Amino acid sequence: MAIDTLDLAILVAIIAAVVAYFTRGKLWDKNEEDVSATGGSGSRDLMQTLKETGKKALVLFGSQTGTAEDYAHKFAKEFQARFGIPTMCGDLADYDYDSLDKIVADVSGFRLVVFFNATYGEGEPTDNAIDFFDYLDNECEDLSGLKFACFGLGNSTYEFYNAAGKKVADILKSKNAELVGELGLGDDGRGTMDEDYLSWKDSLFEVIKGALSLDEKEAEYEASIEVTEVANLTKDSPTVSLGEPDAKYVSLQGEAGPFDHTHPFLAPVLKTKDLSPNRHCIHAELDLSGSNMKYLTGDHLAIWPSNPDSKVSKMLSALGLQDRKDAVIKIKLLDPTVHSMIPSPTTYGAVIRHYLEISGPVSRQFIGSIVQFAPDEETKQRAKEIAEDKVLFQKRIIDQGFNIADALLALSNGSEWSTVPFAFIIESIPHIQPRYYSISSSALSDRNTVHVTVMVEANEVAGTDRLTTGVASNLLFDIELAQNKIADIEPFENYNLEGPRGKFHNYRLPVHVRRSTFKLPSNPNTPIIMVGPGTGVAPFRGFIREKVRQVENGEKSTGEIVLFYGCRKSTEDFLYKEEWPEYSKKLGDRFKFITAFSREADKKVYVQHKMLEHKKELADLLDKGAFFYVCGDASKMARDVQKALIKVVAQEKKVPEDDAAEMVKQLKIQNRYQEDVW
């Protein structure tokens, strides 16, 4: 049977679509003329990769928000620079571990494996470390001869503090691997992560000199990437990335999925509203139609932000690049094991606006490493002194609320740091990460739209007239003011809302959905108790909208629903104030909405006080099999709520608090006590 031209065209299109689906755009990503890919050796075989690349040390990270990844990269670079050992840094998800036990014997001169493991949720490993933990639990055998070090990243306000890092160390030791130095435990809860890392790293380096018989030298920057200006391209050349959130957006005209944590969907922002004009809390509704991206009630939405104009401009000035912001640069990977998420060719301005985390606090390590490029001797001495003295660093940099550009300009008395190689900037500054938000809509009632509830972060720096501002939340605030044409309120930050090549025109944001385990009971008849002060109410609005829709759909057997909500004042920051009575009308007696306004009485009243006032009711619901949910602030509220629940159980069941604590622990084990805290 002959194939006519139309058939042939359709056949070619089908083959192209199949190839596109299975390669997920990797083929065109590799095209250098288009937009370069992320690098990496490509093999999942750890030993083969080490042998092929000649690496003698390995740094692996399990990272959720990018912090562990950032520390791992910094460590690998410094380790290599100080001890002259070729070191590879990799994502735990990118390799198989069945050859871990053979590395020492088969890779000549192999020295050390260093793990950086963040703990996520309730003591769980990060998403990219799940397979590695499965290997540890089920497949890992004798690791005699392997030397390893480990730094865990956790938060001491959580019950399972640094569980992932501790587990890695315990299992590897039990398999006869040798832990070099102490297990490092970084604590976000006390805000000491950076200092915890520095003191662990410094003491490990001391131990390493003896344990691995290594000589140390003055660390000098060794570039893993090369940045060169490209004279024959301009920012208008079609292959130049201007900060499109993924290389695919440069090479493709339309949007093509699948959309996930490597490739976001540009979701139209349909509607925004400031729920608290005093404190600014933005409700935003985004349209997921056409993305094929589905969410479940209780999931998280990741928003990929870009930096605001003022911060971009200051950073360019600090580096002496203001006049060259549109110059086109090419980024070449010099080391096959290095990945870069920045598409190339691109511009200096695009890198700074879209890829680097320039807005947050600067680290002491960063100042220490940039000293070598100081523009003059005086600046060098000043920077060195501050980098070596943590008290001085705290006073002169952290207490001032300085970001990187502020700190550099303060250290140089306003002189440009045009002496810093841009490759160093790309390699040393953490890459901007998506921000997560608990979805405040219901997948049942708001099918194609996803809602978020975002508190705008703008905090005064004590003793100054300056503010520190959050990147993503202020982007939403800027969108809200522009979309609603509010001219009499100034945003804290202005953004390029049009986005690269106008891709964000008419208010679009790059987003992806992240699955969470925070879920309603599968039986709608099961009672639920929810505690969500402030923006912690977000997922519970989703839960309640779901319940309302179930009732509207004829569901008769909805169990009791109790929501404890708290804020400062009923007139100030009462989120979704007009909606709750509407939900009450629909749900009737089944729904109880209990409020705690902390600043309306002489004595501060919080949700946990209200829980104790309603202790009998809570204990009865738990007896009936109720699920208990907490969402919001992890540092204090979540612990206070847990303590309050233990008191409720102790008093109502007339048992000692230790027994009540054990009963609450059992609820967690049965998944009837769920937390979504940050």
Residues making up the binding site for NADP(+): 279, 535, 598-599, 604-608, 640
Would you count residue 68 as binding ligand FAD (CB under 6 A)?
no
438 binds ligand FAD (CB under 6 A): yes
Would residue 490 be called left, alpha or beta, if left means φ above 0 and alpha means ψ between -120 and 50 degrees? Answer: beta
Where do we find the tokens 């009630």?
297
Q: Please give the backbone phi and psi of residue 116, each rounded to the nearest 5 degrees, phi first.
A: -120, 110
Q: Which of 79, 116, 422, 437 contacts ligand FAD by CB under 6 A?
A: 437
Rounded to a whole number of angstroms, the minimum distance from the CB of residue 587 to ligand FAD is 22
Position among 277, 360, 502, 656 found at the interface with ligand FAD (CB under 6 A)? 360
Closest of 31, 33, 503, 26 to residue 237, by C-alpha: 33
Query: Is 98 among the catalytic positions?
Result: no
Q: With the CA atoms of 416, 420, 421 and 426 taken in that order, what torsion angle do they form, in degrees rounded to the nearest 10?
A: -90
> Is 354 one of the binding residues for ligand FAD (CB under 6 A)?
no
Least spacing, CB of residue 437 vs ligand FAD, in Å = 4
Q: Does 359 bind ligand FAD (CB under 6 A)?
A: yes
Q: Among the candidate windows 462-470, 580-588, 642-650, 663-671, which touches ligand FAD by CB under 6 A?
A: 462-470
Q: At 504, which amino acid appears?
A: F
Which member of 89, 140, 281, 631 is catalytic?
A: 631
State the nearest-atom distance from the C-beta of 417 to ligand FAD, in Å: 18
Q: Which two tokens stand for residue 457?
A: 């972060």
* Residue 535 contacts ligand FAD per CB under 6 A: yes
Quote the least distance from Cβ 538 to ligand FAD, whole Å.
Answer: 4
Q: Closer to ligand FAD at the Cβ: 79 or 565? A: 565
Single out the residue of 28, 373, 593, 678 in contact with ligand FAD (rule: CB under 6 A): 678
Of 459, 464, 570, 671, the one binding ligand FAD (CB under 6 A) is 459
Helix then strand then coil, in percent of the chain rounded to 5, is: 40, 20, 40
CB 212, CB 111: distance < 8 Å: yes
Annotated binding-site members for FMN: 63-68, 118-121, 153-162, 188
- As measured in angstroms, the least distance from the Cβ of 240 to ligand FAD is 27
* Distance in Å from the first CA to the final CA of the chain: 63
Residue 470: Cβ within 10 Å count: 21
Residue 156 CA, distance from chain mean position: 18
Find, among 393, 392, 385, 402, the residue nearest to 364 by Cα. Answer: 393
Q: Which is nearer to ligand FAD, 126 or 438 (CB)?
A: 438
Kindly tell me which of 182 and 457 has the beta carbon lying closer to ligand FAD.
457
Least separation in angstroms between CB 676 and ligand FAD: 6
Stretch near ligand FAD under the rule CB under 6 A, chosen from 185-193, 400-408, 583-591, 603-611: 400-408
Q: Which stretch binds ligand FAD (CB under 6 A): 22-30, 231-239, 336-344, 433-441?
A: 433-441
Among 403, 526, 558, 608, indicate the residue that binds ligand FAD (CB under 6 A).
403
Q: Which long-range contacts (CB under 8 A, 24 or more apart) does 635-642 make?
A: 635/155, 635/157, 635/189, 636/157, 637/533, 637/536, 637/606, 637/607, 637/608, 637/677, 638/157, 638/675, 638/677, 639/157, 640/606, 640/608, 641/531, 641/607, 641/608, 641/611
All residues at 6 or more sequence positions from 512 whose CB lies less than 8 Å from its CB, including other chains: 259, 260, 261, 263, 264, 265, 293, 301, 302, 304, 434
320 is a contact residue toward ligand FAD (CB under 6 A): no
For 260, which DSSP code?
B
Q: Nearest-CB residue to ligand FAD?
A: 470
**Least distance from C-beta 79 to ligand FAD, angstroms?**
28
470 binds ligand FAD (CB under 6 A): yes
Identified catalytic residue from 438, 441, 445, 516: 438
Q: What is the nearest approach in angstroms of ligand FAD to the Cβ of residue 193?
A: 13
Instruction: With H, G, I as helix, E, B as strand and everything else as coil, classify residue 658.
Output: helix
| Contact status, residue 259 vs residue 512, Cβ threshold 8 Å | yes
Interaction of residue 63 with ligand FAD, rule CB under 6 A: no
Closest C-alpha among 510, 563, 612 to residue 288: 510
Strand 528-531 and strand 627-632: the pairing is: parallel
Query: Is 304 in the active site?
Result: no
Q: Determine, following the binding rule CB under 6 A, whether residue 122 of this chain makes contact with ligand FAD.
A: no
By the rule CB under 6 A, 435 interacts with ligand FAD: yes
* Contact window for ligand FAD (CB under 6 A) among 141-149, 358-366, 372-380, 548-556: 358-366
Name which of 128 and 337 has its Cβ closer to ligand FAD. 128
Here the tokens at position 280 are 């600014």
Q: What is the C-alpha separation between 351 and 359, in angstroms, rounded?
A: 14
Binding map of ligand FAD across residues 78-117, x = CB under 6 A, - = no contact: ----------------------------------------
Does 371 help bind ligand FAD (rule: CB under 6 A)? no
- Token pair, residue 385, equals 């002194």
Residue 499 to residue 510: CA distance in whole angstroms: 10
CB nearer ligand FAD, residue 538 or residue 596:
538
Binding status of residue 306 toward ligand FAD by CB under 6 A: no
Distance CA 248, CA 257 (A): 10
- Name the one range near ligand FAD by CB under 6 A: 35-43, 430-438, 552-560, 656-664: 430-438
Which positions ≥6 away from 491 have C-beta within 8 Å? Answer: 474, 477, 478, 481
For 255, the token pair is 């949007």
Number of residues that bind ligand FAD (CB under 6 A): 26
Active site residue 678: yes
**79 versus 304: smaller Cβ distance to ligand FAD:** 304
CA dihedral (521, 527, 531, 536) in degrees, to 10, reads: 40
The answer to whether 436 contacts ligand FAD (rule: CB under 6 A) is yes
Q: Which is nearer to ligand FAD, 247 or 358 (CB)?
A: 358
- Of 29, 335, 446, 676, the active-site residue reads 676
Compute the distance between CA of residue 522 and CA of residue 481 in angstroms, rounded to an integer.
Answer: 40
Whether 446 is a known active-site residue: answer no
Find out whether 116 and 80 touch, Cβ atoms under 8 Å: no
Residues 483-522: x where in contact with ligand FAD by CB under 6 A, - otherwise, as a string: ----------------------------------------
Q: Which of 100, 405, 450, 471 binds ligand FAD (CB under 6 A)?
A: 471
Q: Give catalytic residue positions.
A: 438, 631, 676, 678
Q: Which residues bind ligand FAD (CB under 6 A)?
A: 300, 305, 359-361, 401-403, 435-438, 453-455, 457, 459, 468-473, 535, 538, 678
